[in-house]
Structure 1
Amino acid sequence: MADLVYPPIIGAARTLFRALDIKLEVIGAENVPRSGGAVLVSNHVSYLDFIFAGWGALKAGGRKTRFMAKDDVFRHRISGPLMRGMKHIPVDRSDGQPAYEAAVRALKAGEVVGVFPEATISRSFTLKKFKTGAARMAADAGVPLLPMALWGTQRFWTKGRPKELTRRHTPVTIIIGEPIHITAADRPVMVTRRLRAAMTELIDRAQTTYPDSPSGPDDTWWQPAHLGGSAPTLEVAEAEDEKENAEKAARRAARAEAEQQARNG
């Protein structure tokens, strides 16, 4: 089936990049295979990462990425039709097996599937723990893993900060590493460690070569603590995530109880 939604979305993104004069640098596009399936694996520092990660693959011979994303996005009245039209893959976090199987089918059909193995945005802007799903999918489909690093995207919109979607002249660095090929004998846990190590190197490179720096003491929030920034450390960020998750779970439980009471009337 032809892509009817993806091309106009790409055109809109290109227009927006130009209007905001975003300084995009894509490094390593030659590492994306021109055909065949691949699992594109990126760090996650912004709500807009799927746009920029997809752009990196697009610069490599026009490859369109099908991202795995939580199913809430697909139920939204605006984003839902767009996500479905671009053939992204909804993930139900209470039962991820259908999404996993859909991703493997897409990979075997020659698609590039995008994954954020940290599952959620990193408040510390450093890598969180990885889930092994990307490695398992690549092994099951017989395709390579493509490690990617994004940097600068957090300055537009990230967790705990107000949106700055109209920022102008902001550099964004996208680095795609060499493919990681997997054999049937490779254990997913060990492959995931290799993947994380490769992405750590790419992120370090992106950070140290990034052509911008904080404009003053109030602009250090987007820099990780180990580089002198005021972003929380990984330990503090994880504690904040746990608190947020507990609050969400409590709200879900309260809603479920209210609905049950309403049904019992």
Structure 2
Amino acid sequence: MWYWLFKYVLLGPLLAVLGRPKITGLEHVPSDGPAILASNHLAVMDSFYLPLVVSRRITFLAKQEYFTGTGIKGKFLAWFYTVVGQVPIDRTDADSAQAALTTAKRILGEGKLLGMYPEGTRSPDGRLYKGKTGLARLALETGVPVIPVAMVGTDVVNPPGSKGLRFGRVEVRFGKPMDFSRFDGLAGNRFIERAVIDEVMYDLMDLSGQEYVDIYAAAIKENAQKSNGQQVDTSKPAARLPHAAAG
């Protein structure tokens, strides 16, 4: 109930006014059955604008920290993510990663749409970063289609590090479903999984027009924090190529 209440009454109308979302390729999202929506990740609002434009319910695997916050803001976010049905995952070690994979398979087994960010974290500077292979293994083990989704402009409406929202223009671009059935039986092969996720990231680069960096975003953030306490400048919107030339 809360998911639809936030989408259509409490939050969705405000987001529609602020971002004036433009949608392309929505026909690629199946009307029923499981699928993975693989999205780039520019801002927190990605997890709000994507469900806003898709009629079906989307379940995200959200980091556990969102459910254990303290203070008024932390407790509100914990309540919010719980009532809208998002699923907490622990990302600290290999055992936790396996548990997250099991949870994701259960969600897809129930015929639901699963939203995932293959970069593993928000982009520190608007560029598209190397994808993690967890999504690839999930796609290979379940055989469900992977639909690339490019979020554009969410970092203008919701600049990283800011506490408020701004007016902007959000675009949500859906690509054609990706079929990896040619790799049936090869889940667990790290070379195949790397090839699969690289293919997904290429489609995301093509859709979003973002510059691609073959490094994990988390490593960039960690290195920036170690460099004399300096932080990555996230105040600027994503740098991207013109959409027509992105491929």
- TM bracket (short chain): 0.7 to 0.9
Counterpart of 2:14 (choices 16, 32, 35) is 16
Question: What is the aligned partner in structure 1 of residue 208 from structure 2?
Answer: 203
Question: What is the aligned partner in structure 2 of residue 35 from structure 1?
Answer: 32
Kindly indicate whether the alpha-carbon contact (under 8 Å) linking 2:23 and 2:172 is maintained by their aligned counterparts in 1: yes
Distance 1:37 1:238, change over 3 A: closer
Counterpart of 1:68 (choices 35, 45, 61) is 61
Over the residues paired in the alignment, what is the CA RMSD in angstroms?
2.4
Q: Counterpart of 1:142 in structure 2: which amino acid?
A: G
Aligned residues with identical type, % of pairs: 29
Question: What is the aligned partner in structure 1 of residue 47 from structure 2?
Answer: 50
Kindly indicate whether the alpha-carbon contact (under 8 Å) linking 2:120 and 2:218 is maintained by their aligned counterparts in 1: no
- Write the distance in 1 (CA, Å) between the matches of 2:135 and 2:219: 25
Q: Counterpart of 1:155 in structure 2: which amino acid?
A: V
- Write the distance in 1 (CA, Å) between the matches of 2:56 and 2:225: 35
Greater than 6 Å deviation, 4+ residue runs: none
User: What is the TM-score of this pair, normalised by structure 2?
Assistant: 0.77
Mark the runs of 5 or more structure 1 residues left unpaired by the alignment: 208-223, 227-232, 248-265
- Write the distance in 2 (CA, Å) between the matches of 1:29 and 1:157: 23
Who wins on radius of gyration, i.e. which is larger?
A: 1
Distance 1:35 1:197, change over 3 A: same
**C-alpha displacement at 1:82, in angstroms?**
2.3
Distance 1:172 1:96, change over 3 A: same
- Write the distance in 1 (CA, Å) between the matches of 2:41 and 2:131: 11
Q: Is the partner of 1:243 in helix, strand or coil?
A: helix
Distance 1:240 1:127, change over 3 A: closer
Q: Is the partner of 2:36 in helix, strand or coil?
A: strand
Counterpart of 1:176 (choices 162, 174, 177) is 174
Question: What is the aligned partner in structure 2 of residue 250 from structure 1?
Answer: none
**C-alpha displacement at 1:84, in angstroms?**
2.1
- Write the distance in 1 (CA, Å) between the matches of 2:104 and 2:219: 31
Q: Is the partner of 1:96 in helix, strand or coil?
A: helix
- Write the distance in 2 (CA, Å) between the matches of 1:238 and 1:108: 30
Question: What is the aligned partner in structure 2 of residue 242 from structure 1?
Answer: 222
**C-alpha displacement at 1:18, in angstroms?**
4.4
- Write the distance in 1 (CA, Å) between the matches of 2:214 and 2:193: 24
Question: What is the aligned partner in structure 1 of residue 91 from structure 2?
Answer: 93
Kindly indicate whether the alpha-carbon contact (under 8 Å) linking 2:23 and 2:173 is maintained by their aligned counterparts in 1: yes
Q: Is the partner of 1:40 in helix, strand or coil?
A: strand
Q: Counterpart of 1:139 in structure 2: which amino acid?
A: L
Kindly indicate whether the alpha-carbon contact (under 8 Å) linking 1:89 and 1:103 is maintained by their aligned counterparts in 2: no
Q: Counterpart of 2:138 in structure 1: which amino acid?
A: M
**C-alpha displacement at 1:162, in angstroms?**
2.6
Which structure has more relative contact order (CA 8 Å, sep 6+)? It is 2
Question: What is the aligned partner in structure 1 of residue 82 from structure 2?
Answer: 84
Question: What is the aligned partner in structure 2 of residue 139 from structure 1?
Answer: 140
**C-alpha displacement at 1:188, in angstroms?**
1.7
- Write the distance in 2 (CA, Å) between the matches of 1:240 and 1:195: 21
User: What is the TM-score of this pair, normalised by structure 1?
Assistant: 0.72
Kindly indicate whether the alpha-carbon contact (under 8 Å) linking 1:31 and 1:179 is maintained by their aligned counterparts in 2: yes
Q: Counterpart of 1:119 in structure 2: which amino acid?
A: G
Mark the runs of 5 or more structure 2 residues left unpaired by the alignment: 70-74, 187-191, 228-247
